[in-house]
Amino acid sequence: MALQPNLTCYLRKISINNARCFAAAAKPKESAKATATGGSKASHNQYLIPAEELKSTTVKSVRVSTLENNKPLAKIAVYYKAGSRYETDETLGVVHSLRIASGLGTSGATRFGIARTIESNGGILTCTAGREHIAYTIEATRDKIVNLQQILIDLASKQIFKPWEVKETLPRLTAERVTLAPEIRVLELLHKAAFRKGLGYSLYSPKNRVGKTSADDLDAFVKNNFVEASVVGLGVAHEFAELIAKRLKVTPSGREIQPSKFYSHEIRKDLAGDLAYVAVATQGAGFGNPKEVVASALAQRALGVGARAKRGNTAGKLSSAISDGSTATGINLNYSDAGLLGVLVVGTSSTIGGATKKAVDTLRTANLSDADVSRAKSLLRNDIAFALESDAELVDDIGLQSLFNGSVTSQDEIVKLIDSVSPADVNNLLKKGGGKLSLAAIGNISKLPYLDEL
């Protein structure tokens, strides 16, 4: 569900400067099917035609969902339930390497052939990875997407990891590690503190594993974890998406997944400089309880999620509690069986201690009023509407819902669910963790109190 800002975006793009973003007009309704099967070209612009109803079927245990959005660009994506959560202590960083290796050669095409085919059709390849999913997406104009069908199938299910090609991805992996924003670093540490293993495994390769992931490690991970999938299409015929699902090598297996458990722990890392970054969280909501997921999103917005306008003032409980120049924002991260709800505080070495204390006190003692929750509901409705205007966000929303829930909740149904949540539901969620907190901090944290002092 599109209930939170996307804090991390992991993109793998090929020939982005060569992408022909508006080279073809949208198809009229009667010719949409012909588009995805190599049929006749569109006649004139049909941008004012509204999107049609979502279609969903199941093919060989793969959930297939398509939406005719009547836009000039088409997207087709394959989602696997296989993120960093499925790594082991011996294979940490394999998902990071797998994402970077998304454009390497397969059993059906060489790396050069893949790049050449995508470029010649003005397409874009994107590979994204999360803690519980990996997605391969191809984007192109509606009259060219059919030419990239085989490329997507090869990349998503016919990988052949050649040791010399895997070795060539090492510079990019290293560059991604050293250029991580501090906000991302502290959130990665927060997951480690709160969950230890499973969801605690980072999306980025640890330093001691750089260069240690072999081609055999990648191959084993794909074979063991690419066993649950969903296919999503925008601007393509449903039969076209079903054909791709039918050709995927997905064999359901009974993987044993350890349930996530929240721990009260802290991780601190001193770094040079004057700034400090602190993330504190309590137990949040998992996808299994949609009402709690909505309540956690409302709690995040009631605490505050930054300014809503350029150079505007930040509103929410946190901004009214902290006035020493530090900044604080609510964080809300949801997974299949767990979640994190808390605050991210940024300040100087001299102010971070007091700001963190005030933020934690706000998180623990927040008693949201009807007005607070009503304002949060308005913000959440707007955030969802704006997010789903983006095709990338829409594909991600449909793909993840299909993968984890087996169905897709419409925007209207989500709005009804938002309206059904009461202030008591939100306040109960804030108290769900019983006061147990996890903390992660990086930067100049010499004056930051320890967790048991907060």
Q: Do 308 and 431 fall into the same domain? A: yes
If one counts the domains in the chain, the total is 2
| DSSP characters over 161-205 | --HHHHHTTHHHHHHHHHT--HHHHHHHHHHHHHHSSGGGS-SS-
Do the domain assignments include residue 335?
Answer: yes
260 inside domain: no
Q: Are residues 290 and 199 in the same domain?
A: no
Q: Which of 426, 314, 302 is nearest to 376 (CA)?
A: 302
Helix, coil or strand: residue 289:
coil
Q: 188 with 314, same domain?
A: no
In this structure, the answer to whether residues 242 and 363 fall within a common structural domain is: no
Residues 371 and 224 in one domain: no
Q: Based on the domain organization, do 218 and 352 belong to the same domain?
A: no
Is residue 252 domain-resident?
A: no
User: How far apart (Å, rounded) are the C-alpha atoms in residues 153 and 151?
Assistant: 5
- Which of 212, 247, 282 is the C-terminal boundary of a domain? 247
Inside any domain, residue 96: yes
Residue 3, domain member (yes or no): no
**Does 117 share its domain with 220?**
yes
**Spatial CA neighbour of 352 closest among 425, 268, 242, 261:** 268
Print pLDDT tens along the chain (454 aa).
444 433 333 223 323 333 333 333 344 444 444 445 444 444 444 544 556 789 999 998 999 999 998 889 999 999 999 999 999 999 999 999 999 999 999 998 999 999 999 999 999 999 999 999 999 999 999 999 999 999 999 999 999 999 999 999 999 999 999 999 999 999 999 999 999 999 999 999 999 999 999 999 999 999 999 999 999 999 999 999 999 999 998 887 777 788 899 999 999 999 999 999 999 999 999 988 899 999 999 999 999 987 777 777 777 888 888 888 889 999 999 999 999 999 999 999 999 999 999 999 999 988 899 999 999 999 999 999 999 889 999 999 999 999 999 889 888 899 999 999 999 999 999 988 778 999 999 999 999 999 999 8
Q: Which domain holds residue 132?
A: 16-247
Q: Which residue(s) pair with 79 in the sheet?
A: 135, 230
Phi-psi region of 103 (alpha: psi -120 to 50; beta: other; left: phi over 0): alpha
Q: Decide if 340 is inside a domain.
A: yes
Domain match, 41 and 106 both = yes
| Through-space distance between the first and last CA atoms of the chain, rounded to whole angstroms | 33
188 in the same domain as 316: no
Residues 187, 275 within the same domain: no
Are 195 and 51 within one domain?
yes
Give the CA dihedral 111, 112, 114, 116, nearest 10 degrees. 160
Q: Is 283 inside any structural domain?
A: yes
What are all long-range contacts of 164-167, with beta carbons under 8 Å and residues at least 24 apart? Answer: 165/101, 165/104, 165/105, 165/111, 166/97, 166/101, 166/104, 166/213, 166/214, 166/215, 166/218
CATH of the domain at 367: 3.30.830.10
- Structural domain contains residue 259: no
Query: Do residues 197 and 168 share a domain?
Result: yes
pTM of the model: 0.86
**Which amino acid is it at 233?**
G
